[in-house]
Amino acid sequence: MKATKIKTLLKSSEIKKSFVVQGWVKTFRAKRFIALNDGSSLKNLQCIVDFENLEESLLKRITTGAALHLEGKLVESQGEGQKVELLVEKLEVLGDSDPEKYPIQPKKHSLEFLREKAHLRVRTTTFAAVMRIRSKLSFAVHNFFQEQGFYYVNTPIITGSDAEGAGEMFRVSTLDAKNPPLNEVGNPDYKQDFFGKETNLTVSGQLEAETYALGLGEVYTFGPTFRAENSNTTRHLAEFWMIEPEMAFYDLTDNMDLAEKFIRSVLKEILDNCFEDLEFLDDRLVKEDQSKPQAERSPMGLREKIKFVINNDFKRVSYTEAFEILRNSKQNKKKKFKFPVIQWGVDLQSEHERYLVESHFNCPVILYDYPANIKAFYMRRNEDNKTVRAMDILFPGIGEIVGGSQREERLEVLEKRIEEMNIDKKELWWYLDLRRFGTVPHSGFGLGFERLVQFTTGMSNIRDVIPFPRTPLNASF
């Protein structure tokens, strides 16, 4: 008999029928009640071992963490808390678990502790819920774009262009690290390396995605992205997943409209389909909040926040307007910002973004038309010749979740910018070709998938929403 998923059994009305279940013991009480979980559901299946001649030696092996194969009859539960339970008739221990050594005990563990047990933490209710939602969200991402007629393109992970400019890169090389061949000036000679040039792990698939947008029309990437930034924050990983749609014939407004529609659509999918996991994470957040001082507590519950984003338009504000709001804020006048807002043109720090989103507007904000000097070379220059058609989406509790722009489609303007910024133009010959042959206005954005999972699950540290986080000094699993 094939095993039935616990999720299915919990909803089943096939009383008295026999079933097989397989999973891991969460708890075992009174030598009688096994709470079994197989990952299919937040809830455990209560399984009752109450048959004669069950040997004491077998009973001893039913410990927290052990893997079991059970066969028995589904019956209406006598106890509270569940509709049905399994009356076990046959029990096999598939994998023992030493209760003294098993790290995931049936008690509350700190998230920090669990990070050190990343290979086992998905056995906890919290991580299982987060990872189920992560999986659903990925699917929702593909679903949204596929339904809109976008094509999924896989851009390279190893890149030969160092012009992406989005952050520090990890070098990819097969040269002998101890004794690399050297060039005339005494540096490692990458001409002798695997690709005959210096290569790195990608920080963004955008430039390559643009080439596909200018042929397939509307495309998106969804893949791993790497940044060797030594920032130990709750929102940065060295390896994360990025979703990057890129669309021909879109201007900046079309781009913002798409981003809003996209975020709403995937959040709605989770709200509609992940009821139990969301309810659990919502409660978890409420409990966590109770241990915080009043001022730091969240004004909204998790599901409330998600609904708020689904039901309210994001506030669209130009950089210049935002700059004035910040400059005139009490915060700024009382010198409460670490980085005072004085001069138009400064890059906004996360304290400023938080002020705008969490204190001033109290809703997701799209900032657009940034000063050219703080943005990448490929963003389209505005008529004022000072700003570019960039847009960042800022979320409460998260900060920047999306960074995007309309791309510069005019060859001369783009070339001039590349020169001004001292970027090697030769490297970008293929990118410039797009502006030579059938150039069109086009736009796109990048959304950090883990930051979206953070928002959806209410997890405050990005390390807790990816199975195996890669951060400085941490790549153990």
Contact positions toward ligand ATP, by CB under 6 A? 166-167, 227, 229, 236-237, 240, 242, 399-403, 446-448, 450-451
**Separation between Cα atoms, residue 80 and residue 237, nearest integer Å:** 43
| Contact by Cβ (8 Å): 455, 448 | no
Nearer to ligand ATP, 44 or 206 (CB): 206
Q: How far is the CB of 242 from ligand ATP (least distance, A)?
A: 5
**Separation between Cα atoms, residue 226 and residue 471, nearest integer Å:** 11
Q: How many other CB atoms sit within 10 Å of the CB of residue 308?
A: 14
Q: What angle do CA 50, 53, 55 make, to 5 degrees?
A: 95
Q: How far is the CB of 375 from ligand ATP (least distance, A)?
A: 9
**Separation between Cα atoms, residue 462 and residue 452, nearest integer Å:** 10
Side chain identity, residue 98: D
Residue of 475, 396, 397, 407 whose CA lies nearest to 446: 407
CA–CA distance from 192 to each of 157, 176, 181, 195, 428 (Å)?
A: 21, 11, 7, 8, 22
Nearer to ligand ATP, 99 or 167 (CB): 167
Nearer to ligand ATP, 86 or 242 (CB): 242
| Contact by Cβ (8 Å): 153, 163 | no
| Contact by Cβ (8 Å): 219, 245 | yes
* Beta strands 67-76 and 199-201, pairing class: unpaired
Nearer to ligand ATP, 227 or 264 (CB): 227
Q: How far is the CB of 239 from ligand ATP (least distance, A)?
A: 8
Q: How far is the CB of 399 from ligand ATP (least distance, A)?
A: 6
Q: How far is the CB of 244 from ligand ATP (least distance, A)?
A: 8
Q: How far is the CB of 424 from ligand ATP (least distance, A)?
A: 20
Nearer to ligand ATP, 162 or 189 (CB): 162
Sheet strands (E) in 50-148:
67-76, 84-95
Nearer to ligand ATP, 10 or 465 (CB): 465
Side chain identity, residue 426: K
Nearer to ligand ATP, 123 or 236 (CB): 236
Q: Which residues contact 55 (CB under 8 A, 6 or more apart)?
A: none
Residue of 470, 455, 375, 445 whose CA lies nearest to 222: 445
Nearer to ligand ATP, 238 or 248 (CB): 238
Backbone angles phi, psi at 127, to 5 degrees: -70, -35
- CA-CA-CA-CA torsion sign (295, 301, 305, 307): negative
> Rounded to 10 degrees, what is the CA torsion of 265, 133, 33, 70?
100
Q: How far is the CB of 47 from ligand ATP (least distance, A)?
A: 41
Q: How far is the CB of 173 from ligand ATP (least distance, A)?
A: 22
Class of residue 115 by CB neighbours under 10 A (exposed 0-12, middle 13-18, buried 19+):
middle
Q: How far is the CB of 231 from ligand ATP (least distance, A)?
A: 7
Q: How far is the CB of 25 from ligand ATP (least distance, A)?
A: 35
* Token pair for 154: 């896989």
Q: Which residues contact 426 (CB under 8 A, 6 or more apart)?
A: none
Nearer to ligand ATP, 72 or 448 (CB): 448
Nearer to ligand ATP, 111 or 166 (CB): 166
| Contact by Cβ (8 Å): 188, 180 | yes
Nearer to ligand ATP, 259 or 270 (CB): 259
Q: How far is the CB of 225 from ligand ATP (least distance, A)?
A: 7
